[in-house]
Amino acid sequence: MNQETVSAMKEKARAVRLGIIDALGVDKRGHLGGSMSCADIVAALYFHKMRHDPKNRFMADRDRFIMSKGHSVLAQYAALAEAGYFPRETLLKTKTLGSILQGHPERETPGVEANTGSLGQGLSIGVGMALAGRLDKLNYRTWVVLGDGELAEGQVWEAVTAAAAFKLDNLTAIVDMNGIQAVGRTCDRYNLGNIRGKFDAFGWKTFEIDGHDMAQVLQALDDASEVRGAPSAIIAGTVKGKGVSFAENTPAYHNNLLTKEQQEAARREIMAM
C-alpha cells in the first residue's frame, strides 16, 4: 500500500474523529465509543475506496454505505461533512430539534442511504441494494458496517445466508469488532464465539485485520473488492473509543457525555495520534 495514501487517510481519520467530538458536543449524551472504533474504516471508505460525489449524490452507480450499527452515525456524519455533503458547522447541531443530523441515520441527511438504528437490519438492506445493482448491471459495491454486539440479532444471519445464496460479490460486510456492547464486554454479556468462523461457515470470503492499522484497512477494502462469486466480510479488531484514552475500552462511553475539559482533552489526544 502506497505510504502517501496511508498517511493521507490517517489524516482523514483524524478529521473524522475531530468531527465526532464536534457532533458529540459538551454535556450531551452521545455514542462516542462505537463512533471512534469505526472512524478509520469510515475514513478509508469515504476518502479512498468508495465511488461517490457530494455534487452528484444520486448517481446511479455510486457505491453505497450503510451504517447498520446506526448509533455510530457520528463517524458517518463527520465523514459526510468532511467530504462536503453539508457544512462542517452542521455537526454542531447533531441531535437537536429539527436538525438534519438525527440520533440515528435517516435519509433526510445528504449522503445517508438508509434509515438504520434498530439493530440488525442494515445488512438486509444492503442485500437488497446489491440485488438491484446486479439486476441493473451497475458495478457499484454496497458496504455495510456492523457492530459485533449487533451480531446477536438473528436477522443479521438471515441476511448472511441470503447474501451467500445469491452469491452477492458486490456486497461487503465490515464488522467493527470493538468487543464492547452497551452494558459490558461482549464476551462476558453474550458471547458470540468465533465471528470469522461463522462468516466462513456461511460461505463468505473473510478477512481479519486490525481496524486501526490504516494500511491493513486499505488493503482489506481492496481485497474484498476483488472477491468473486461470494460476499465478503472484513472482521476488524478495534478499540471502543479509540483515540480518547479515558473512553477507550470503557463500556460507560458507549453512550455518554463529555465535559468541556474532557472535550478539550479528547481533541488534544486526537491531534497527537
Partner 1 sequence: MLMNLRAAYGEALLALAGENKNVVALDADLCGSTQSVVVEKNYPERYFEMGIGEQNMISVAAGLALTGKIPFAHSFSVFATGRPFDQIRQSVCLPNLNVKIVGSSCGLSDFGDGATHQSFEDLATMRVLPHMTVLCPADGIEVKWAVRAAAAIDGPVYIRLNRNDLPVLFDEKTSFEIGKPLVVKEGNDVALVCTGTMTSIALDAAALLEQQGISARVVHLGTIKPLCGKSLREALGNVRGIVSCEEHTIYGGLGSAVAEALCEAPLPMKMVGIQDRYGQSAVCYEELLECYGLTKEAVAKAAEALLKK
Q: What are the residues binding partner 1 (CB under 8 A)?
A: 106-107, 113-118, 121, 124-133, 135-136, 154-155, 158-159, 161-162, 165-166
Nearer to partner 1, 142 or 238 (CB): 142
Q: Which is nearer to partner 1, 43 or 144 (CB)?
A: 144
Cβ closest to partner 1, residue 166 vs residue 202: 166
Q: Give, in degrees to the nearest 5, the angle at Cα 7 between 72 and 207.
A: 55
Question: 200, 152, 210, 204: which is closest to 176 by C-alpha?
Answer: 210
Least distance to partner 1, CB of residue 65, Å: 12
Say which residues have a Cβ less than 8 Å from residue 209's Cβ, sequence separation at least 6.
216, 217, 219, 220, 234, 235, 236, 237
Least distance from C-beta 134 to partner 1, angstroms? Answer: 9
Residues 180 and 251: beta-carbon distance below 8 Å: yes
DSSP, collapsed to helix, strand or coil, labels residue 206 as strand
Q: How far is the CB of 104 from partner 1 (least distance, A)?
A: 9
As to burial, measured by CB atoms within 10 angstroms (0-12 exposed, 13-18 middle, 19+ buried), residue 69 is buried
Q: Find the DSSP H helices in the chain.
A: 3-24, 32-37, 39-44, 73-83, 122-135, 154-165, 186-189, 195-201, 214-226, 260-272
Confirm if 24 and 73 have CB atoms less than 8 A apart: no
**Closer by beta carbon to partner 1, 68 or else 263:** 68
Nearer to partner 1 among residue 87 and residue 154 (C-beta)? 154
Comparison of 124 and 216: residue with beta carbon closer to partner 1: 124
Smallest distance, partner 1 to C-beta of residue 170, A: 12
Q: How far apart are CA 160 and CA 173, in angstroms?
A: 9
Least distance between partner 1 and beta carbon 155 (Å): 5
User: How far is residue 40's CA from residue 10's CA, in Å, rounded to a whole number?
Assistant: 7
How far apart are CB 259 and partner 1 at their closest, in Å?
A: 33
Residue 57, C-beta contacts closer than 8 angstroms, at least 6 positions apart: 85, 110, 111
Residue 236 C-beta: closest distance to partner 1, Å: 23
Compute and round to an integer the Cα radius of gyration of the chain: 17
Residue 112 or 214 having the CB closest to partner 1: 112
